[in-house]
Amino acid sequence: MCLAIPVKVKSINGEEAEVESGGTSYKASIALVPEVKEGDYVLLHAGYAISIIDQQEAEETLRLLREIRVI
C-alpha cells in the first residue's frame, strides 16, 4: 500500500507534472511537493509525488557506508 517508486520529473504544468520511469511517461500530481523542479527525482505514491529525493543525501549515505571499516 505504501509502495512508492522513484520517478524523474520531466515537465510541470500547475499542480500536474509529467514524470518518467524506465522509459514510460505518465502524469502525476505535485500538490504535495509544490517546491519540486523539472529534473528532480520524486517518490511517486498513488498518483502523487510525496517526497523529493535528495541526491546529495543519497551520495552521502553511500560515502558513509564506504567508510565502514570492518576489522
Partner 1 sequence: MMIGEERTLAKKLIQEIFRISSKEINLMEFCGGHTVAILKQGIRQLLPGHVHLLSGPGCPVCVTATGDIDSIIHLSGYRDVITATFGDLIRVPGSTSSLQKSRAEGNDIRVVYSALEALDIARQNPGKRVVMVGIGFETTAPTVAASILQAAREGIKNYLVYSLHKLTPPVMKALLDSGEVKLDGIICPGHVSTVIGARPYEFIPLNYRIACAITGFEPLDILEGINMLVRQIESGTPCVEIAYRRAVKPEGNLKALELMEQVFRVGSAWWRGIGEIPGSGLQLKEEYRVFDAATVFQLTPQDATEPAGCLCGEILRAAKTPLDCPLFGKKCTPEQPVGPCMVSAEGACSAYYLYGESDG
| Minimum gap (Å) between residue 52 Cβ and partner 1 | 8
Using CB under 8 A as the criterion, which residues of the chain lie in contact with partner 1 when the complex forms?
A: 1-4, 29, 31-34, 43, 45-48, 50-51, 53-55, 57-58, 60-62, 65-66, 68, 70-71
In whole angstroms, the minimum distance from the beta carbon of 61 to partner 1 comes to 6
Report the residue number, 23 or 56, with the smaller CB distance to partner 1: 56
| Residue found by looking up cell 520524486 in the block | 42
Pair 13, 50: CB distance under 8 Å: no
Taking residue 48's Cβ as centre, other Cβ atoms within 10 Å add up to: 16
Rounded Cα distance, 22 and 6, in Å: 10
